[in-house]
Amino acid sequence: MTLSPSRSSFLVLAGWYVAVVVAFGLFLGTLSGSVPTDCGEVCDSERSRTLLFGLYVALPALFLAALVSLATLAALISRTRIRSSTLVGTLAALLPLLACSLLVTSL
């Protein structure tokens, strides 16, 4: 069973987004979950702050990047003669994910 070029390009695109989410999860695993003792009840741990940042900033940015990637994927499939599904899926994911990473790191 062979996949159509558009379906396999979509799977490559989805794979890039899954890789970003997994990398964020691995990064969360490296952060400390302990709260400083001299802070009291108002402080959060590094892991908690990063998780909240991910939920309120990175997740909406990733959603917008996914929408732009899907539109780019549709344009690349219909208007180019690139036959490599890997290349088409990667090109569709590249610019939106770079823009999303620049947005998230600038905040």
Domain ranges of the chain: 5-31+41-106
Could you read off the pLDDT tens digit of each residue along the chain, which spans 107 residues? 556 768 899 999 999 999 989 988 998 889 888 877 777 677 888 888 889 988 998 899 889 999 999 999 999 988 888 888 899 999 999 988 888 888 777 75
What's the per-residue H, E or C state across 32-96? CCCCCCCCCCCCCCHHHHHHHHHHHHHHHHHHHHHHHHHHHHHHHHHHCCCCCHHHHHHHHHHHH
pTM > 0.95: no
